Structure 1
Amino acid sequence: MKERVDFLHTLGLTIEDINNYPLVLGCSVKKNMIPVLDYLGKLGVKRSNLTEFLRRYPQVLHSSVVVDLAPVVKYLEGMDIKLNDIPRVLERYPEVLGYKLEGTMSTSVAYLVGIGVSRREIGGILTRYPEILGMRVGRVIKPFVEYLESVGIPTLAVARLIEKRPHILGFGLNDRIKPNAKFLTEFGVRESFICSIIAQYPEIIGLDLGPKLSKQLSFLTSLVNLTHEDFGKVIEKMPQIVSLSNAAVVKHVEFLKTCGFSETQVKKMVILCPQILALNMDIMKLNFDYFLKMGRQLDELVDFPAFFTYGLESTIKPRHQMVAKMGLKCSLAWLLNCSDSKFEERMRYDTIDVDEMETNSSFDMNSLMRPMNNESDSEYDDDEDSDEEYL
C-alpha cells in the first residue's frame, strides 16, 4: 500500500486525489501503473500534463494496454486523427480511453456524417474537439441540431457550422443556448434574424450573453446615443458587436469624428454599417483619403458607410476611375454595391438607372457552404476562449 501511495505521489497526485478515487490503490505499480504510463509516454502524452490527465481519468491505471487502450488508439486513427495528434486528443479528453468502440463514439460520428458533415472533416473535428466522442446523440447532439433547424438554419448549414466550430456542440442547449436566444430578442433582435446571427457568429450562443448585451448597450448609448431598437438592428447586421472591446469602438468613433462627421451622423453610420467599428484603422484612413480625392460630399459617406469595407486598390479606385473617365455621376452605393460582372454590365449603360440599385442584403445562409475566410482585421476582446473572427 505504501509503495502505491508513494508512487502516485511521484506522479503529482495528492491524498485528496486518491480519496476521490480510492480504487486506484488496487492497482499494482509494476503490473498496472508502469505499463500504462509507459504506453502513454510512447504515444506522446507529455509528462507535464500527466498529473491532470490522471486526475481526470484515474481509471486508466486499471486498464490493459493491449485489451483496452491500444484498440481505442487504433479506432481514433481510423477516424483520420493523425498519429501525432493522438496525444493532444488524449490530453484534452482522457475519458475517451474508457469508451466502448461500438457505443457512443461510433454513433456520434455516424450521426454527424448523416446530417451532412463531410467524412473527410471528421479527423480534424475530433482533433479539435474530441469531447464529441462522449456525447450521446439522443441527449446532446440531435437536440442541438434540431434546435438550430427550428430557428431557421438548414441542416446542411448546421453541418458546416459544426465542421468549422465543433466546440459549439458543447454549449448547453437549455442552460445557455435557448436563454441566449431569448436575451437577443429582449435586446431588440427580431426572431427571424436569430438564425443569421448564429450562422454569422456561432460563439454568441455560448457566451454569458445577458451581461454582455447590457454592458454593450449602455456603452454604445453613452458613446453614440444608440437606442434599444437601434442596438437590435446593429446586432442583426454584426453580432460580433457584443464582443468588441470598448477601446476599439472608441478609437473608430473618434476617427470618424476627426473626419468631420457629427455625433448624429456617426450614429447613423453605425446603424447602417456596424462593421465600421471593427475594420482595420489603416485601411479606413486610406479609403477616406481617397474619398476626399474623389471630390464627394461627406453626406454620401453617411448614407453609404459600407464604403470603408471595400478594397481601395481592388474595387474603389478602378471603378471610380472608370466612371470618371466616362463622365458619369452616381452614388457610392451604385458604384460599389454590386459584383464585378454587374459593374461591367452597368458600364455599358447610356444612363444610370437608380431603380436598379441593389440593397444591402441580410446574411446569406448559402455562404456557409463556401470555405471560411480566415483573414481578420477586427479588434475583439480577448477574454473569451473562442475562435472569434470578423467576417
Structure 2
Amino acid sequence: MIIRLQFFPQTLIPLHSTLSPVKNPNRSPNCTKQSQLLDGFRNSLSPHPNTPISDSGLRFRQKLLYIENLKVNSSKALHKNPNFRSAPLDTVKSVEKCLCSMGIQRSALGRILDMHPQLLTSDPYNDLYPVFDFLFNEVHIPFPDIQKSIIRCPRLLLCSVDDQLRPTFYFLKKLGFAGPHAITCQNTLLLVSSVEDTLVPKLEYLQNLGFSYKEVVKMVVRSPGLLTFSIEKNFQPKVEYFLDEMKGDLAELKRFPQYFSFSLEGKIKPRHRLLAEHGFSLPLPEMLKVSDGEFNLRLIEMRLQLADERYLE
C-alpha cells in the first residue's frame, strides 16, 4: 500500500502582526510568577530604546565615582585638571599604585590628590618616580621617610627635578644644609622654593636688619622654618613689634630665631602685654616656649615674689 505525503501550504504571517506566547492552561501560578520576575529582570538589563547608554558616559561616571571614593572632589578635579576628563581610569589607578608603593596610605593619598588634582593624570615613570629617586639617592632621605616628605609637602610631586628640586638642593647645601644640618623629611618643603624669588630675598631681608651673612646662615640652619615665612606677613610685623613695643635687642633674635615661628596675635602680643602690665619681662624662650598653664603659673610666682619684696620693704 502506498501512503502519499500531503504538503499543506504554509500560512504566511504578516510582518506587522504581533506574536503572543501560547498560554499553557496547566501552568502553575508559581511558574507564572517566576516567569514574570525573570521577564522583569531581563527588562532591567535591556536599555530603553529611546535612551541608549553610552559606554564612554558610563566609564566617565565610574571614574568620577572612583576618585570620590578616594575623597577627591570630582568637580574640583575637573576644574583644575581639564585633562582628567578624557583620561582613562587606568591612569588614575597607576598614580594610586605608584604612591601606595612608596608607603603612602589611602587616606593621605586622597588628601594629596584633592589638593593637587593635576597629579591624577601624571605619568608615574616620567613625573613621580624621578622625584622619589632624587629624594632617595641625592638628598639621601631614608626610604621610610620619603612618604613623610610627600605628605608634608605634596608639591614636591609637581616639581621638575632638573629645573626646580636639584638647583634648590645645591643652593641649600652650599648655604650650610649639609652634614648634621642636612635636609631631612622635616624640611624637604624647602626644595620647592625658588632660589631667586623666595630664598635669596629672605636672606637679604634678615641681613638688612643688621645681621651679618654668617649670622643669618647660622639662624636659618638652626631654624629652617625661617625660610618658609613670608616677609610681609611674618618677618616685618614681628620685627616691628619686637623693636617698637618690646624694646628688644637684635642680639636676642640671633639667640632665639624661633621667635618668628610663634603667632604674633595669638601668643607674642598677649604674653608680652601681661608681663608689661605688671612691669615684668622675660627672655624670649621663657616667654614663648612654655604652655599657657606654665606661663600663667610663672606670672603668678613673679607677682607673689614682687609682693613679698614690697612687704619686706
What are the residue-to-residue correspondences of 1:54-73 with 2, within 5 Å? none
1:131 alignment partner AA? N
For this pair of structures, how many residues does the alignment match? 249
1:350–1:253 distance in 2 versus 1, CA, 3 Å: closer
What are the residue-to-residue correspondences of 1:102-121 with 2, within 5 Å? 102-103=58-59, 105-117=60-72, 121=73
**Partners of 1:188 and 1:299 in 2: how far apart?**
35
1:261–1:127 distance in 2 versus 1, CA, 3 Å: same
**Contact 2:171 2:195 (C-alpha < 8 Å) held by counterparts:** no
**Contact 1:145 1:158 (C-alpha < 8 Å) held by counterparts:** yes
**Contact 1:237 1:273 (C-alpha < 8 Å) held by counterparts:** no
Shift of 1:299: 5.2
**Partners of 1:182 and 1:304 in 2: how far apart?**
36
Structure 2 residue matching 1:347: 3-state secondary structure: helix
For residue 219 of structure 1, what is the aligned residue in structure 2? 171
**Partners of 1:300 and 1:227 in 2: how far apart?**
26
1:241–1:157 distance in 2 versus 1, CA, 3 Å: same
**Contact 1:187 1:213 (C-alpha < 8 Å) held by counterparts:** no
Offset from partner CA, 1:345-373 (integer Å, 9 cap, x none)? 22332489xxxxxxxxxxxxxxxxxxxxx
Shift of 1:333: 4.4
Question: Cα RMSD (Å) of the superposition?
Answer: 3.5
Offset from partner CA, 1:100-143 (integer Å, 9 cap, x none)? 1122x1222222222333xxx32232232243344344x32223
1:317–1:193 distance in 2 versus 1, CA, 3 Å: same
- Asked whether 1:161 is paired with 2:134, we answer no
**Contact 1:128 1:166 (C-alpha < 8 Å) held by counterparts:** yes
Shift of 1:162: 1.9
For residue 13 of structure 1, what is the aligned residue in structure 2? none
What are the residue-to-residue correspondences of 1:72-83 with 2, within 5 Å? none
1:209–1:347 distance in 2 versus 1, CA, 3 Å: same
**Contact 2:159 2:192 (C-alpha < 8 Å) held by counterparts:** no
Structure 2 residue matching 1:232: 3-state secondary structure: coil
Shift of 1:167: 0.8
What are the residue-to-residue correspondences of 1:1-391 with 2, within 5 Å? 100-103=56-59, 105-117=60-72, 121-137=73-89, 139-185=90-136, 186-221=138-173, 224-227=175-178, 230-233=181-184, 236-237=186-187, 239-283=189-233, 284-293=235-244, 294-296=246-248, 298=250, 300-325=252-277, 330=282, 332-337=284-289, 342-343=291-292, 345-350=293-298
**Contact 1:226 1:267 (C-alpha < 8 Å) held by counterparts:** no
**Partners of 1:109 and 1:177 in 2: how far apart?**
22
**Partners of 1:311 and 1:350 in 2: how far apart?**
20
| Identity across the alignment (%) | 24
For residue 36 of structure 2, what is the aligned residue in structure 1? none
- The higher-RCO structure (CA 8 Å, 6+ apart) is 1
1:285–1:124 distance in 2 versus 1, CA, 3 Å: closer
Unaligned runs of 5+ in 2: 1-49, 301-313
**Partners of 1:248 and 1:257 in 2: how far apart?**
15
Unaligned runs of 5+ in 1: 1-65, 73-98, 353-391
1:216–1:328 distance in 2 versus 1, CA, 3 Å: same
1:347 alignment partner AA? F
Shift of 1:183: 0.4
**Partners of 1:240 and 1:143 in 2: how far apart?**
28
Shift of 1:246: 1.3
Give the alignment's TM-score, normalised by structure 1.
Answer: 0.53
**Partners of 2:126 and 2:257 in 1: how far apart?**
38
Shift of 1:177: 0.7
For residue 44 of structure 2, what is the aligned residue in structure 1? none
**Contact 1:168 1:202 (C-alpha < 8 Å) held by counterparts:** no
